């Protein structure tokens, strides 16, 4: 899952050097391990914040910023493959991204 997420994020045009990139990759790994993470976003942010010695709010903002970049400046054809084009919040974007990656086999 990790390699799929990295490949897709780069394909969509997300800079690999922003914090949100790594948080999204880790979130996909957590979703794959246990789908409970996909329904408990506040707990997901807390888990990621502990992994990276930051705050849950910083994790949430970094993920939001990362998705905002690809939805406004990314390769829209690639973005359409993995995400809805109308920004609908981190939870929906993370879940949609995970489901699309999962369908790739």
Reported as a pLDDT band with limits 50, 70 and 90, residue 38 is confident
- Give how far Cα 52 sits from Cα of 86, 96, 105, Å: 29, 24, 29
- Lowest mean pLDDT across 25-29, 54-58, 84-88, 97-101: 84-88
For residue 105, pLDDT over 70 is answered with no
Domains of the chain: 2-103 (1.10.10.10)
Segments in 13-89 forming alpha helices (H): 19-33, 41-51, 56-73, 76-82
Q: Rounded mean pLDDT of 49-61?
A: 97
Q: Rounded mean pLDDT of 29-48?
A: 89
Cα-to-chain-centroid distance, residue 8 = 10
Burial 20-36 (b: 16+ CB within 10 A, else e): bbbbbbbbbebbbeeee
Biggest CA pair distance of the chain = 35
For residue 88, pLDDT over 90 is answered with no
């Amino acid at each position: 899952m990790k390699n799929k997420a990295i490949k897709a994020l780069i394909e969509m045009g997300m800079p690999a050097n922003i914090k949100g990139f790594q948080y999204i990759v880790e979130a996909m790994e957590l979703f794959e391990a246990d789908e409970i993470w996909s329904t408990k976003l506040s707990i997901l942010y807390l888990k990621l914040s502990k992994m990276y010695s930051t705050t849950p709010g910083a994790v949430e903002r970094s993920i939001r910023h990362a998705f905002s970049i690809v939805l406004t400046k990314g390769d829209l054809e690639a973005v359409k493959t993995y995400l809805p084009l109308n920004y609908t919040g981190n939870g929906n974007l993370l879940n949609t991204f995970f489901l699309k990656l999962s369908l790739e086999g």
